[in-house]
Amino acid sequence: MSAGGCAANTAVGLRILGRDVNVAGKVGLDIFGDFVTSELARHGVGVEHIRRTPMHPTSGTIILNVEGEDRRYLHCIGANADLTLDDLDFGFLEGARVLYVGGYLAAPSFTSHDLALLFRKTKGRGITTVLDVVMPAGSAFGLGHVAPVLRYTDYFLPNEDEAARLTGCGDVRLQARQLNVVNPNCAVVITRGRCGSLAMRRDQMVATPPFQMETVDESGAGDAFTAGLITGLLEEWDLERTLSFAGVVGASCTRALGCFAGVFTFEQAVRFLEEQKAAI
């Protein structure tokens, strides 16, 4: 059992990479809410902006790893159904350089209007905005669900399946182009698992190859990729180096069971990337 979810996994990944992190969100008034909060704190993540609700249990996911097939997620939205903009104290942005929102579309009360307002105020403070999405199975989503937010987003990180559902297009390059049209200044970064990643910003398109590692569990790899990307932003690297670093960190996550046990430290990731370039 582990603390998890997009924001939690990314936060712990950033701590492993040596960054200071605070997390905001909502959990239930139950033993799992105690567990999530204490586990994040144990990893050095700031938890003072986590709210609690008596209306729902803490969100939970059971991950089933199937040999030779993609993993299955059995998910309970739980307290995330109760999360709204009113739960966020804008003081938590004080001193921040990057705001990452993970799991958007799996928090049904947090509307696109709310998120657009949050990102607009965030960008007004000179803070970089990063957005990830989660799309519950069986729900219909389209570009209209993210377009109001993308106008204030600096980096948008859907995976290939999510980008296909948003655009109705199966070609990853066309997906990137359609999503980038909404805001050409937003870097659309589509993660592709074993195929690496593809990014587009304005007329620049960057394809990053995958990094081969012995895989045990792919859970959390996308969140580790995000932690690597945010680290690249904090280091003020160019887009190509940032994506390569993020790819290494994401791949490293798959080396162990769980969503962050295998994640490289900053030094390990830099060394691995240098060794890969030397080999090429």
Task: List phi, psi (to 5°) of 23.
Answer: -125, 140
The arithmetic mean of pLDDT across residues 185-200, rounded, is 94
Q: Is the pLDDT of residue 115 over 80?
A: yes
Question: How sure is the predictor about 280, in pLDDT bands with cuts at 50, 70 and 90?
Answer: very low
CA distances from 252 to 109, 133, 184, 225 (A): 34, 22, 31, 9
Whether the full predicted model's pTM is greater than 0.85, yes or no, is yes
Over residues 234-253, the pLDDT tens digits come to: 999 999 999 999 999 999 99
Q: Fill in the DSSP letter of residue 1.
A: -
What's the pLDDT at 278?
Answer: 59
pLDDT tops 80 at residue 130: yes
Instruction: Please give the average per-residue pLDDT across 178-187, as a whole number.
Output: 95
Average pLDDT (99-124) is 94
Higher local confidence (pLDDT), 121 or 141:
121
pLDDT, one tens digit per residue, over 45-87 is 999 999 999 999 999 999 998 888 888 889 999 999 999 999 9
Q: Mean pLDDT throughout 189-193?
A: 94
Domain boundaries, the chain: 6-24+89-279
Q: Which two tokens stand for residue 135?
A: 């799309």
Q: Is the pLDDT assigned to residue 20 strictly greater than 70?
A: yes
Q: What's residue 6's pLDDT?
A: 94
- For the segment(s) 6-24+89-279, the CATH number from 3.10.450.50, 3.40.1190.20, 2.102.10.10, 2.70.98.20 is 3.40.1190.20
Q: According to the model, what pLDDT value does residue 279 have?
A: 53
Residue 207: exposure state from Cβ atoms within 10 A (0-12, 13-18, ≥19): middle
Q: Is the pLDDT of residue 263 over 80?
A: yes
pLDDT at 194: 86
The answer to whether residue 207 scores a pLDDT higher than 70 is yes
Residue whose tokens read 């769980």: 258
Looking at every residue in the chain, the average pLDDT score rounds to: 93
Instruction: Please state the rounded mean pLDDT for residues 24-51.
Output: 97
DSSP 8-state assignment for residue 36: H
The residue assigned the tokens 């993970």 is 102
